[in-house]
Homo-oligomer: A and B are copies of this chain.
Amino acid sequence: MKRKITLKQIAKELDVSVSTVSKALKDSAEISVDTKEKIKAFAKLYNYKPNNIALSLKNRKTKTIGIIIPEIVHHFFTTVIRGIEHVANEKGYNVIICLSNNSFDKEVLNLEFLANGSTDGFIMSVAKETQQKEDYHHIKEVISQGMPVVMFDRVIDEVICDKVVISDKHGAFEAVQYLIDLQCKKIALISTVDYVSVGKLRTAGYKEALTTNDLEVNEDLILKIEDVDHSQEKIEEFLKGKDIDAVFAVNEQFAVNAIKALTKLGKKVPNDVSVIGFTDGVVSKSFIPSLSTVNQHGEDMGAKAAHLLIERLESETEEQIFQTTVLDTSLIIRDSVKK
């Protein structure tokens, strides 16, 4: 088995110096055509590839971007990753992904691991547990050490860095407005607990839409779910006996759960109750009835985040002004709402 070959080995075999080999392979004008040919042929034969680690050490940069996300199940994150990769590859960067599994400790470990030389910068969406603990020292730490960080989706106000978010509040507003325009008057909200930033914002959008239209916010029609694993039961219990004509759910899962619960309770979607969810995923299209959702344009988000990060990585000056980019959502109307 031929181990990976190094410049040194090539040099020895060909009885030249290491620097000659290095230059030859870079097609330097300093080296004679003869030797260049010889060296290149040999290198090709042994499939020489420069060692990234050595290059990284020498250049003090890795040309790779680290992505840290809570979980990968979500179709949304997949699209964001695609957007990041697209831009990154175009600019000659590689991308490596680490999952926090929504665990604070895991997030800290991942960040430390990647920050110690493995990446030039980060694009991240923080773990639920981290938002709950409100402990962001690990992120601030890497930033203070000069690693650029771009946050997306679940962002933290108190961490100073570039951010890309969608207009959660406005997206929710539009969805609820749509329901109101359909003459719905008793619109339930199924949200997450408030420490999840997006849940909070979407709830705010819901409330604003109601008040803007002179509808009362009825806390009895608002459900906040802590434990996603048992959302189905919670939602069934919540909807039982409620007199409603629409449901707005802050994610795909809850929307599906709501429809199932409503069906169980003998209500027809969309005839009796219209339902709109948030985040367009795989389930939305497949589900019967297909789900109306607020679409988040994940790919644009990823692309924007990558641009912001790379710009910072490659700018000479240490710009201290950070920006938050707000991307619009769009409403996708499918079968789960009345026509």
Contacts and interface: CB of A to CB of B under 8 A. Distances in A.
Interface of A: 1-4, 47, 49-54, 56-57, 62, 71-73, 75, 78, 81-82, 85, 94-99, 101, 110, 112-113, 115-118, 141, 144-146, 253, 256, 260, 263, 282-283, 286-288, 318
A54 B144 contact: no
Contact of A53 (B57, B263, B287): B57
Given A53-B57, A99-B85, A144 B73 contact: no
Contacts of A288: 260, 263, 287-288
B50 A116 contact: yes
A54 B145 contact: no
Given A47-B141, A144-B1, A146-B3, A98 B99 contact: no
Contacts of A283: 282-283, 286
Contacts of A72: 72, 78, 81
A204 B179 CA distance: 50
B94 A97 contact: no
A10 to B, nearest CB: 15
B53 A112 contact: no
